[in-house]
Structure 1
């Protein structure tokens, strides 16, 4: 590590501490040349996969875009900010754990739809109508019917479970 004061290459680590969360390493260093001290931080840098759009172009993953899409679908819906943050975190964890360097935008859209379905059925329908380019009312009806069937299956499973 170069000294930020004299740019000398020879610095020594005096003290090392791990942050409370355990994801950042703080190091106190001393320059062997000018004897000044400074602090450096080490943190894990995970690379999100590149998003491959339908037209074949590639773009960097942007958490802000994901949040904006979710917030647009959830506009005026009773969903907490913590729930949205949790959904974003689950999506990002799935992207990272895939180990892929590139992911199709269609796959990302499916992850978003799965999370919206868990958060709010109306927001799911809103997002699906744009994402799947619904052409007429019958496609809305099919999406609503799909949710109704899933709700009935879920209720039947809960009713069948012993308490």
Structure 2
């Protein structure tokens, strides 16, 4: 490993640690020439994934682009950088598990949107506005109403569950029989 300070090619490993759920290894090294210490990361190299862009061009998958887009969408929100890093890793792992080695930017964007929606509605709308190329206020309104409709459906579902639990409590044997005190 080449030293970033003096470019000497010999170094020794002082410490190795697994990071990122075992997907990478962090190594603390010391240059044998200048004695500076530096950190390196090793990641498993997967078969490259080809990303097909909107204009039809193809390029290699770059995880940092996903991360950069999510960071911008999550500015001034409560979403932690470590959460975004984990989401990017999850998405990359999902893509690596697929037998197909090419994917469209639209499919990647949908994966990101799905995960961002779970973390922050604000980040979801921000990311969607860039990814889906919003042209005006109507696009924002449509996305927000879609979010609101889904939230209302979730609330109705939760309310139904709560009502079911209450009705079960009223008909359960412990409620129908007097207690033996």
TM-score by length of 1: 0.69
In structure 2, how many angstroms separate the alpha carbons of the residues matched to 1:94 and 1:83? 16
Q: Give the superposed CA RMSD.
A: 2.4
In structure 1, how many angstroms separate the alpha carbons of the residues matched to 2:22 and 2:140? 47
Give the match for residue 76 of structure 1.
76
Superposition deviation, residue 112 in structure 1: 1.1
TM-score by length of 2: 0.63
Q: Deviations over 1:4-60 (max 9, x none)?
A: xxxxxxxxxxxxxxx978779xxxxxxxxxxxxxxxxxx853224111111111111
Q: SS of the counterpart of 2:144?
A: helix
In structure 2, how many angstroms separate the alpha carbons of the residues matched to 1:57 and 1:120? 31
User: Is 1:149 aligned to residue 149 of structure 2?
Assistant: yes
When residues 131 and 142 of structure 1 are mapped into structure 2, their CA distance, relative to the original with a 3 A threshold, is: same
Unaligned runs of 5+ residues in structure 2 are 1-16, 25-42, 166-181
Superposition deviation, residue 161 in structure 1: 2.5
Residue pair 2:71, 2:81 contacting (<8 A) in 1 also: no
Displacement over 3 Å in runs of 4+? 19-24
Q: Deviations over 1:112-157 (max 9, x none)?
A: 1111111111111111111111112111101000000111112222
Residue pair 2:67, 2:88 contacting (<8 A) in 1 also: yes
Alignment of 1:1-163 (within 5 A): 44-161=44-161
Unaligned runs of 5+ residues in structure 1 are 1-18, 25-42
